[in-house]
């Protein structure tokens, strides 16, 4: 009798599943989320039906494909908060986040919810933002982060970082690194900086927290 649990895949099936995820990761990283499902299937060496059976929607595929990045994201903010010096922690978060997002175009799109509907990424983003808000507060109190810094500036920074396209992967990494350094300069408290224009309220397709 078949005692096979319904959620246990056959060996060839789980093998295909892995290859699909590998292909998805690679293509999402270079091409972004707009890459056709069939392209992923082709790259994985499977038929379209197989891909759709495992991952009925592109969202499900992306969610699965980006679990590593999700964990990395959480780790970054946790490391930042654990840092004794809040300013150093803040810089760590900015540098590492830019680096992470520079690595995969698709992950950024997913994280910023270019996706039609809300997905698991939203929760992760909210967690990250909340954590960074607390870190920023401490960094301001320590006098290293400029007092007029707003959390929306960080979203702004992420959106901006996403705009950086280059020919090669290495060039993009370098560009993001330099960009992060410049952003940190902009956020650092300084006696000579003039007041900033009003904060831009950015809604990255997020659910309304306040009615």
Partner DNA sequence: ACGCTAACGGACGCCCCCGTCCACTTGGCT
Partner DNA sequence: AGCCAAGTGGACGGGGGCGTCCGTTAGCGT
**Minimal CA–CA distance to 90: which of 173, 162, 157?**
157
Other CB atoms within 10 A of residue 30 CB? 12
Instruction: Say whether residue 9 binds DNA (CB under 7 A).
Output: yes
Residues between 146 and 175 that touch a second copy (CB under 8 A): 153, 156, 159-167, 171, 174-175
Other CB atoms within 10 A of residue 26 CB? 17
DSSP bridge partners of 149: none
Measured from the CB atom, is 118 or 160 closer to a second copy? 160
Residue 186, SS3 per DSSP: helix
Helices (H) and strands (E) in the chain, counts: 10, 0
Residue 71 site contact among a second copy, DNA, none (CB < 5 to 8 Å, cut-off depends on kind): none
Distance CA 67, CA 135 (A): 24
Instruction: Say whether residue 37 binds DNA (CB under 7 A).
Output: yes
For the bound state, the minimum distance from the C-beta of residue 70 to DNA, rounded and expressed in Å, comes to: 23
Q: Which of 18, 30, 47, 85 binds DNA (CB under 7 A)?
A: 47
Instruction: Say whether residue 5 binds DNA (CB under 7 A).
Output: no
The binding site for a second copy (CB under 8 A) comprises 153, 156, 159-167, 171, 174-175, 177-179, 181-183, 185-188, 190, 192-193, 196-203, 206
């Amino acid at each position: 009798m078949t005692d096979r649990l319904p959620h246990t895949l056959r060996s060839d099936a789980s093998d295909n599943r892995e290859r699909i995820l590998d292909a998805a990761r690679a293509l999402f990283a270079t091409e972004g989320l707009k890459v056709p499902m069939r392209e992923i299937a082709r790259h994985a060496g499977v038929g379209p039906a197989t891909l759709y059976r495992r991952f009925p929607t592109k969202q499900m595929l992306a969610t699965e494909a980006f679990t590593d990045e999700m964990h990395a994201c959480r780790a970054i903010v946790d490391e930042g908060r654990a840092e004794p010096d809040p300013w150093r922690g803040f810089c760590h978060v900015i540098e590492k986040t830019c680096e992470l997002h520079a690595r995969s175009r698709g992950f950024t799109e997913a994280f910023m919810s270019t996706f039609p509907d809300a997905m698991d990424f939203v929760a992760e983003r909210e967690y990250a933002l909340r954590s960074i808000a607390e870190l920023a507060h401490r960094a301001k109190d320590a006098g290293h982060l400029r007092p007029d810094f707003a959390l929306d500036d960080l979203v702004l920074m992420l959106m901006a970082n996403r705009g950086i396209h280059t020919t090669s992967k290495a060039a993009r990494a370098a560009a993001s690194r330099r960009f992060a350094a410049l952003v940190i300069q902009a956020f650092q408290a300084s006696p000579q900086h003039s007041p900033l224009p009003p904060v831009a309220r950015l809604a990255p397709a997020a659910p309304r927290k306040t009615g």
